Amino acid sequence: MSLERPDPTLDDDAVLLVGHGSRREESNEQVRTLAAKLESRLSVPVDAAYIELAEPSIDDAIESMAPTCRTMTVVPLSLFAASHVKNDVPLAVQRARATHDDTEFRFGSHLGIHPSLVDLLDERARAVESDLGADREDDDVAVVLCARGSSDPDSNGDVHKLARLLYEGRGFTRVESAFIGVTTPRLEETLHTVAKDRPDAVVVLPYMLGDGVLTGRIVDKAETFDEEYPYVDAGASGPLGVDDRVVETLADRYREARSGSVEMSCDTCKYKVELAGYEDDEGGARAMLRSLVHQAEHADRSDVDDDPHIHDAPEKHVAVCTNQTCAASGAATVLERLRQGVRDADDCDVHVSRSSCLGQCGDGPIVAVYPDSVWYGGVTPDDTDRIVSSHLERDRIVSNLVHQSL
C-alpha cells in the first residue's frame, strides 16, 4: 500500500545532491550551499548527503527523504566519473530501490564536461590575466588546467578533453592538462614544459570544487614556478566554488535524469571493458566489493592535512547481501549478528556492511569476505559465530559454508 502524501506540491519530486564528504567542514558546507541554490533553481526540495567522512550518509539521507516523495533524483556532485560515481553512488541507489517500493529513484550524471563549466574556467582565466597585467589578445598566454588525477583512465581522459574545449576559439597560445596526484603528467612537469616556449603569462586553473588541501597545493606550485622563472608571469585562480554555473550544470543533470536521457561513458570504462594495464579492475561483484572497501578505508582518519586520500583500511571487509531473496532468508539478522560478533571479538579489525544483490539469488544469505574473496552461502544466524571466531579472528575458512571463491 502506498504512503499517503498530504502535500503533493512538495511530494512529487525531490533531489539528493551527493558530495564526497570531508573532515573540513568548509567543504561540507559548500555542498549544502549548492543544494540550497539548486533548490531555488528547480523549485523542488534538495537535500545534501556525503559518500564518506561526513553526515548524513547517502543511505541515511534516502531513508529520511524517501517517505516524503514519489520520485527521488540522486545527482553526484563530482567533477568526473571515477569509482565513486561508477560504484559507490549507484550501489546506494540500488539499495534504496530494493528497500523503498513506493519511491521511484533516478540517478543523474556527474558534472562532467558542460559548456557552463568551460565558460566559468574562461572567466577564471581572465581574472588571473588581469592580475598579471596580461591580455590574451596581445600577449602569449598559456593555460594549465590542473585536476586531481584518478586511477580511472576514463576520468583522466575527460580532463584532456576539457582542456581542448577551453582552448578552442579563446585566443590562448596553448592549453595543457595536468594533475596534482595519482597520475601523470604532474603539474610541475607541465609547467616546466610550457616555460620552454617562453610565454608572456601562464595561468594555472585548479579544476577543483572547493578551496581544500589539493587546491592549496596547486596554488603553491604556481607561486613556486613564478619565482623560479622570472621571465614568465604566472598565477593561479581559485576553485569552481558555488558559482551559479555549477548550479546550472547540476540543474541540467537533474533534468537529464528526469527525462531518462542520462549517458554514462561506458565504452572506455575500466569496470566494463578490458583496458591494457587495468585487467584486474573488473566490474560486477568485484567492483561492488571494491567500493565497499573504499568506504571503510576512511573510517579511522583523523588528519587529512598532509595527504587527504591516504587510507587506514580495515584488515577485512565483510559484505552481507540484503537484497530481496536474501532478506527473506534472514539476512538482516545475519548482518547484525556478524556486527555484534566483531564488536565482541578481542582482536578483529573488520568492517561489516550490507550490500545489494550479489547475483546468487536462492543461495543466500550470502556473506562475502574481502580481500580473501571467499563467499559463504546459506548462512544462518547460528553460523555467524563460526565465521567470526574462525575466519575473521584466525583466518581459518569455514569450509562447509563456502559457496564460492573468486
Instruction: Kindly list the distances between the CA atom of residue 66 and the CA atoms of 40, 71, 182, in Å, as whole numbers in the listed order.
Output: 20, 8, 37
Question: What per-residue confidence (pLDDT) applies to 85?
Answer: 86
Cite the beta strand spans of 43-151 per DSSP E. Answer: 46-50, 71-76, 104-107, 141-147
Q: Stretch 343-360: mean pLDDT, rounded?
A: 82
> What one-letter code names the amino acid at 308?
P
Q: What is the pLDDT of residues 129-144, one digit of tens each?
A: 999 999 999 999 999 9
Ranked by mean pLDDT, the top range of 90-94, 99-103, 221-225 is 221-225
Instruction: Kindly list the distances between the CA atom of residue 93 and the CA atoms of 30, 44, 61, 230, 356, in Å, as whole numbers in the listed order.
Output: 23, 19, 11, 52, 10
Domains and CATH numbers, the chain: 13-107 (3.40.50.1400), 115-236 (3.40.50.1400), 316-401 (3.40.30.10)
Q: Please determine, for residue 300, whether its predicted confidence score (pLDDT) is greater than 60.
A: no
Three cell numbers, residue 152: 580511472
Q: Please determine, for residue 258, whether its predicted confidence score (pLDDT) is greater than 50.
A: yes
Q: Please determine, for residue 377, whether its predicted confidence score (pLDDT) is greater than 90.
A: yes
Three cell numbers, residue 195: 616555460
Measured in residues, the chain has a length of 406
Three cell numbers, residue 1: 500500500
- Whole-number Å distance between alpha carbons of 118 and 140: 20
Of 387 and 267, which is predicted with more confidence? 387
- Whole-number Å distance between alpha carbons of 406 and 399: 15
Ranked by mean pLDDT, the top range of 49-58, 184-193, 291-300 is 184-193
Give yes or no for a cis peptide into 115 (omega within 30° of 0): no
- Whole-number Å distance between alpha carbons of 95 and 13: 19
91 neighbors 356 (Cβ within 8 angstroms): yes
Q: Please determine, for residue 125, whether its predicted confidence score (pLDDT) is greater than 50.
A: yes
- Whole-number Å distance between alpha carbons of 139 and 149: 30
b/e per residue 109-134 (b: at least 16 CB within 10 A): bbbbbbebbbebbeebbbebbeebeb
Q: Which of the four pLDDT bands, split at 50, 70 and 90, describes residue 87?
A: confident
Question: What per-residue confidence (pLDDT) applies to 2?
Answer: 39
Q: Stretch 154-173: mean pLDDT, rounded?
A: 95
> What one-letter code names the amino acid at 140?
D
Given the DSSP bridges, would you call strands 201-206 and 141-147 parallel, antiparallel or unpaired? parallel
- Whole-number Å distance between alpha carbons of 35 and 77: 10
Q: Which of the four pLDDT bands, split at 50, 70 and 90, describes residue 23?
A: confident
Q: What is the mean pLDDT of the chain?
A: 87
Global pTM reads 0.70
CA 395 to chain centre: 32
